[in-house]
Structure 1
Amino acid sequence: MAAPANKNIKDLNGKWIINKTHSDSTDPVLALQGIGWMTRKALGLATVTLHTKMYTKTPEDNAAAGDVIHIDIDQFATGGVKGTSEHRALDWKYRPHSDWLFGELQGRSRLTTLDAVRKEAREEGGTKASDAEYVTEGFLAETEGGETIESWVDNEGKKWTGWQIWGFATVNGERWLVRKFAIRRKDKDEVVKVRLCYEWAGELDS
């Protein structure tokens, strides 16, 4: 189902289902991240729903930032697969995270623009520039000319980084939420790039 017109990058409150038909396979990504075959198989068969809540407050560990947007995401999977939770503050400050699937890592997120992402990637050069070409392409004008969410994750223990850009794109002739990922090994020249497409599944239960 298409995202409602009132949903935008600053209001993703609600339920979103990963559509496997229109999304790329996550198996190569999970393999690069060191996830075992049995777990990858179970995740590949499961239907994953994101319950997303966005709100504004001052981060307890970064009071100088003032009020910033926070995103809490609880992921629920069918088939007996355990879900995960994500908690982001869009202030570009690294914070630790740990869960059963990815282990110990640190990540940061922010509101930015695609032009700013491209400019920063060009200045850095190397693989960042080539990855930027992928993660910033294919979005609707509202994302191309407006704001996007950028997230960066670093898993030192399992030697990979994950870069993602969130926005809206045309999928199946409709406006859907899309996240584009570039996942790289830190210890060798290996990268997997995927697009995940999210169908609107309704507001959160009150």
Structure 2
Amino acid sequence: MATPIEANILDVTGRWRLNRSLSDSLESTFALQGIPWIVRKIINWADLELQYIKLPVESDRTATKFSFKQTVRPGGFDTKNEYIVDGKKRTDTVPIFGEITMHCDYVGLHALTSGQLLGRDIESVDEEHAAIVEVVESENMGWVTTTVWGFETIDGERRLCKYNTTVKGDLVEKATMVHDYIGVPAE
């Protein structure tokens, strides 16, 4: 199903399925992050679906906020959370990673390098809103993953893409995740 034209980096509301044939394997990234072998195998084989819903602006907050649900079938590694796109660090616990610190914010194309986009081209809503940059850190495991979210046209279709760079000491792993739009959020 084609991504609706109204979907853009300011509003990623929808259900998205990982397109494994267009995405890189996350095996080496997960290994660097210390995820056990059997869990890596399940996740690399499973169907991964993401659901985002842009939440209404609250009177005490001007930042964009998304509810997030990740479903992994089979596997039981489902996650529910919220993304607040304001650049502020927050701590959370995620089943496969344990405690993490994360922050994300909008950036314009001028703030991104070709390396961060893994050499890819993304669309831009305006000068300040081309991507969401999400930084996740596991202090306990010693890694940092920077993920740039953007919309890219691949094989003639707009797709939500995430360009991941994970660093642990001197080791670096990079992977692109390409997500196909599969419909409106399920309530």
TM-score, normalised via structure 1 length: 0.83
User: What is the deviation of 1:111?
Assistant: 1.1
1:72 paired with 2:67, answer: yes
User: What is the deviation of 1:58?
Assistant: 5.0
1:69-148 aligned within 5 A: 69-118=64-113, 133-135=115-117, 137-142=119-124, 146-148=129-131
Does the CA contact (< 8 Å) of 1:69 and 1:90 recur in 2?
yes
Q: Deviations over 1:54-83 (max 9, x none)?
A: 124359xxx5xx411012211001123321
Q: Deviations over 1:137-161 (max 9, x none)?
A: 4123436954211111111000000
1:189 paired with 2:184, answer: no
**Equivalent in the alignment of 1:177:** 160
In structure 1, stretches of 5+ residues that fail to align are 119-131
In the aligned structure 2, how far is the partner of 1:67 from the partner of 1:149? 16
TM-score, normalised via structure 2 length: 0.91
**Equivalent in the alignment of 2:49:** 49
**1:162 aligned counterpart, secondary structure:** strand
**Equivalent in the alignment of 2:133:** 150
**1:194 aligned counterpart, secondary structure:** strand
- Amino acid corresponding to residue 77 of structure 1 in structure 2: V
Does the CA contact (< 8 Å) of 2:116 and 2:148 recur in 1?
no
Q: Deviations over 1:86-107 (max 9, x none)?
A: 3221111100010111110101
User: What is the deviation of 1:33?
Assistant: 0.3
In the aligned structure 2, how far is the partner of 1:26 from the partner of 1:204? 25
Does the CA contact (< 8 Å) of 1:162 and 1:183 recur in 2?
yes
Does the CA contact (< 8 Å) of 1:140 and 1:169 recur in 2?
yes
User: Alpha carbon RMSD of aligned pairs, Å?
Assistant: 2.0
Does the CA contact (< 8 Å) of 1:18 and 1:48 recur in 2?
yes
